[in-house]
Amino acid sequence: MALARKGTKRDFLLDDCCLADTPFRVADIYNPDSPGVYVREMYGAQLEEFHRKFFLVPLDRKRRQTIGAVWSSHTGDSEGRGFGKSMLMCEESRLVNRDFGAALLKRFDIEDEDVAGNPFIAGYCGFAENMNIKTFSAALLEGVVFALRCEHGEHNVHRELRGRAADRLGAAAPYKGETIKRALVQALSSYRNLPIQLTQRQVSGFIDALCHDDTDALADYVRERIGPRIKASLGFHFVHVFDAFASLAGIAHVVYFVDQVENFAKWARRQGRDVRILRESMCQTSPTADMASFVFQMHINAQQELEPIWQAEHLPSLDYALPINQPRIVDLKGLSTPTHARNLTAELLAAKRPAGRSPPTPLHPFNEDVLELVRLGVDGNPRRFLETLNTILTQAELDGRKTIDLTYVQPFIDAGAGQFRVVDDEEEDDVSNPVR
């Protein structure tokens, strides 16, 4: 919210731009706790590709597992930064969890009976040094907590799963928690290859919290009572327990989106061991191997770091350049058309329009030509696109501008041309484009 002025000085954002506040950020890096406006249209046709490959296709199989990746293979940046991978994985997970994928399946023209019979959920996680999340086991436990706390209808995923499990088991109050717990322990005991000691203190406490209806207490238990060493070494135990709990509730498929994979290579001390545990847990341990998919955020640097360890454990390749991998890969291309850029900008501007103010166009104070110049100038990178618009808008206010046109914007594009320019193929070397 802008500061109120005592005098009659014009408020640039309000009076000239019809904005209550700036819709952009100086560093437009995705923050799951403060995501801002999510504009699905910025992904174009790749949104449907994402839905089809990671949500729809696994439901057509008896063994509902995909091991895939969301890529940004952009040749101008070996880390593929700013293409919206994190936002896509996290926000689509939240949307799926609101109705367990019902709306999505209906958009693919699935019969109502199959929509009701194939509910699915999604978890999102990453690696964070400040939270001591440095292994896949620890990260995926955070993905479980994410899923449980997501909104579903009038409450959250945890309470909805618990309610469905109680209904399927015919549990009556006030014994719902105990009935669910007995069924869950029985289900876990039936998996011969599941290496979980159910009486282990943290595992037993997690099961208790999961089967009762206090989601905050459950999240606190994971954060406060399960220490970093247990998370790092036994984190997958809790993932298996959660998957069995979801299965009791009739969930057909769980998708885990794993962000910031490159940080695993930076921080994990025993990478080979951790990837071995990942492989055993993903591919060789039920119920997870039967009903859970794993989708990793990838870019060229991350692949270079992980590929040797990945291959040593015979895990499916995540290389975007191999045609055989295409059914499991979504390679984001950014703002590939002017329409994508216009839709994104218009949605963000609309979120900051004050009541009673009618801008001349939905793109005001910009226009289509300005947006196209900026889009081409940053080579379609969504983050750089929004950061550049923020810079232009801020400088226009400082300069006392009333209009933002091509003449005013061109110097900003020229100044950043070296940073965003993609080198032609014949001039590239192994460092600028290390595609094998």
Q: In residues, how long is the chain?
A: 436
- 93 and 142 in a single domain? The answer is yes
Q: Is 287 inside a domain boundary? A: yes
The pLDDT of residue 206 is 96
The pLDDT of residue 420 is 46
- 364 and 397 in a single domain? The answer is yes
- 138 and 193 in a single domain? The answer is yes
Tell which of 314, 331, 348 closes a domain.
Answer: 331
CA distance 73 to 297: 11
DSSP character string of 70-121: EE---TT-TT-TTSSHHHHHHHHHHHHHHHTTHHHHHHTT--HHHHHH--EE
Q: Which residues pair with 133 in a beta bridge?
A: 128
Q: What is residue 246's DSSP assignment? A: H
CA distance 113 to 103: 13
Tell which of 280, 309, 331 closes a domain.
Answer: 331
- 227 and 143 in a single domain? The answer is yes
- 173 and 308 in a single domain? The answer is yes
Q: What is the pTM of this model?
A: 0.89
CA distance 198 to 215: 21
The pLDDT of residue 5 is 58
Q: Which residues pair with 296 in a beta bridge?
A: 69, 258
CA distance 298 to 318: 8
Nearest Cα neighbor of 368 from 409, 428, 414, 329 is 409
- 110 and 174 in a single domain? The answer is yes
Q: Is 39 inside a domain boundary? A: no
What is the identity of the amino acid at 202? Answer: Q
The pLDDT of residue 246 is 98
Q: Is 254 helix (H, G, I), strand (E, B) or coil?
A: strand
Nearest Cα neighbor of 299 from 268, 330, 273, 276 is 330
- 403 and 312 in a single domain? The answer is no
The pLDDT of residue 265 is 73
- 256 and 367 in a single domain? The answer is no
- 373 and 326 in a single domain? The answer is no
What domain range is 20 assigned to?
12-28+338-420
Residue 21 CA to chain centroid, in angstroms?
26
Nearest Cα neighbor of 383 from 125, 49, 77 is 77
Q: Is 2 inside a domain boundary? A: no
Over the stretch 271-284, which tens digit does the pLDDT of each residue have? 888 899 999 999 99
Q: Is 243 inside a domain boundary? A: yes
Q: Is 256 inside a domain boundary? A: yes
CA distance 209 to 211: 6
Q: Is the C-alpha dihedral spanning 172, 175, 177, 178 positive or negative?
A: negative
Q: Is 322 inside a domain boundary? A: yes
pLDDT lower than 50: segments of the chain: 420-436
- 126 and 273 in a single domain? The answer is yes
The three-point CA angle 318-231-278 to 5° equals 25
- 369 and 228 in a single domain? The answer is no
Tell which of 297, 331, 365 closes a domain.
Answer: 331
Q: Is 391 inside a domain boundary? A: yes
Phi/psi for 140 (5° steps) reads -70, -25
- 156 and 239 in a single domain? The answer is yes
Rounded to whole angstroms, what are the CA distances from 243 to 139, 185, 236, 341? Answer: 15, 13, 10, 39
The pLDDT of residue 421 is 47
- For residue 307, the tally of other CB atoms under 10 A from its CB is 14
Q: Is 55 inside a domain boundary? A: yes
Helices and strands (DSSP H and E) totals, the chain: 19, 7
Structural domains in the chain (count): 2
- Report which secondary-structure segment, H or E, holds 413: helix 406-420
